[in-house]
Amino acid sequence: MKTTELHTILRLPTGIFYANGVKANVLFFDNRPASKDAWTKEVWIYDYRTNIHHTLKKKTMQMEDLREFIELYNPENRHKRKETWSPENEEGRWRKFSYEEILARDKTNLDIFWLKDKSLADLDNLPDPDILAFEIIQSIEAGLECFREIYSEISPE
């Protein structure tokens, strides 16, 4: 974020490019020369992942599905964007985060979400077992990789 101005992230539904459970994000940024100060001041995130389900064959994502994002993106004047999320509208998919908020996250993690996953609250509406199993495997593998990194940092060579 120091050599580019990261300004927008579009969180896409899992599985639309590859397989169920595989996450995809589109990063929008402008290249900048190296600087002592970070070019990125704020990052706008559109969450088109939470509570959205598409498949590669039966329910493919269409251009119309991204209409709201395209309108909110406002490339002509992105400095006049307006959030759709607020404490009063917790379902808003368009939200701004400051550079400082992102840096404060564990390892500057950009997988930022704030919407509640309705499928997890509604036991009658859980994802298919294969999706759940795959997501569990992904979480376990990610946790294992974190432990490997910690181990490599603290273990003598």
* Shared domain check, 134 and 113: no
* Shared domain check, 105 and 62: yes
> Residue 92 in 3-state DSSP?
coil
Indicate the number of domains in the chain: 2
Hey, what amino acid is at 118?
A: K
Query: What is the DSSP code string of 103-155?
Result: HTSGGG------S--HHHH-GGGPPPHHHHHHHHHHHHHHHHHHHHHHHHHHS
* Shared domain check, 109 and 43: yes
Contact 43, 4 (CB under 8 A): no
* pLDDT score, position 24: 85
**Which residue range(s) make up the domain with 150?**
127-157
Whichever domain contains 111, its CATH number is 3.40.50.150
* Shared domain check, 50 and 18: yes
* pLDDT score, position 75: 84
* pLDDT score, position 26: 93
* pLDDT score, position 20: 65
* pLDDT score, position 120: 62
What's the order of all strands across the beta sheet hosting 24-31? 24-31, 4-12, 42-47, 94-98
Query: What does the alpha-carbon distance between residue 115 and residue 83 come to, in Å, rounded to a whole number?
Result: 14
* Shared domain check, 77 and 52: yes
Q: Which residues of the chain have pLDDT under 50?
A: none
* Shared domain check, 72 and 110: yes
* pLDDT score, position 9: 95
> Residue 78 in 3-state DSSP?
helix
Which alpha helices (H) appear in 2-128, and where do they start and end?
Answer: 67-73, 99-103, 118-121
* pLDDT score, position 111: 78
pLDDT tens digits, 116-134: 877 665 566 667 788 778 7
* Shared domain check, 54 and 15: yes
* Shared domain check, 110 and 141: no
* pLDDT score, position 88: 95
* pLDDT score, position 119: 65
Query: What does the alpha-carbon distance between residue 98 and residue 6 come to, in Å, rounded to a whole number?
Result: 11
* Shared domain check, 87 and 13: yes
